[in-house]
Amino acid sequence: MSRQHPQINLSRRSLFKFGAGAIGTGVLTAGLGSNLLAAEKKAPAEDDITPDKALQELLDGNERFVNRKRKNPHQTYSRLVEVAKGQKPFASVLGCADSRVPSEIVFDQGLGDLFVCRVAGNIATREEIGSLEFGSLVLGSKIIMVVGHERCGAVDAAIKGAEVPGQIGSLLEAIKPSVESSKGKSGDKIENACKANVLVQVEKLKSSPVLSELINAEKLKIVGVYYDLDTGRISRVV
């Protein structure tokens, strides 16, 4: 996959304009949206990748990973030099901080391909949502994939109502609604809660006015998946 990477310059003034008026007037025509449209006019080839194509690229990469046929794309020194000038990731990932689920590896991608947010329990906090809004609206990511995974420790702790120190409790509180919604379902309760958590986070992201505007304009797709730690395979949840 070949993609160009124009530099998008953001001033504090443009950020302020976006925060004050983008939602009210349409994010694609105000503030940061104007910068994005300008960048697209300069590089029309970037429109070649659609949200559906971006999704397929991730799924194909995972299939290569599972079958031990990784291509390790975009991992050369020349690629490093190229993306140092600017980034244009085709996909964003909201994943768990779990060390066993590194996005670039399990999707067989390289430098500049993925805009990744990782947090225990793959929860969509305000900060994560803001980051993903930036990745989609400004950088041009065509898909956001929420990746939950098998035997997630954060979800398991939320199920058990574990007493935890420091700020760890804030993570568990964010997961509890998913635990409640999965109660009573047949099958493994941790797996059910992990998948329910993916669904909750997808809906949180879709409730963002910035992201929903992009979805309505067919410039973005948000999907949820479940990662099997034993096989490395990704399966769709939504």
Residue 92, SS3?
strand
- Residue 133 is predicted with a pLDDT of 98
DSSP label of 8: -
Of all helices (H) and strands (E), which one includes residue 145? strand 143-149
- Residue 54 is predicted with a pLDDT of 98
DSSP label of 88: -
1-47 pLDDT, tens digit per residue, is: 444 444 444 444 444 344 434 444 344 434 454 444 444 433 334 45
Q: Are the C-beta atoms of residues 175 and 123 closer than 8 Å to each other?
A: yes
CA dist 88 and 39 (Å) reads 11
What domains, with CATH codes, occur in the chain? 12-48 (no CATH), 49-236 (3.40.1050.10)
**What does the block give as tokens for 64?**
């290569």
pLDDT band at 238 (very low <50, low <70, confident <90, very high): confident
Q: Nearest to residue 204, comparing CAs of 140, 147, 123?
A: 123
Amino acid symbol at 59: L
Q: What is the mean pLDDT of residues 213-237?
A: 98
The answer, yes or no, to whether residue 214 has pLDDT greater than 50, is: yes
Q: How many CB atoms are closer than 10 A to CB 43?
A: 14
- Residue 48 is predicted with a pLDDT of 79
**What does the block give as tokens for 100?**
């066993």
69-116 pLDDT, tens digit per residue, is: 999 999 999 999 999 999 999 999 999 999 999 999 999 999 999 999
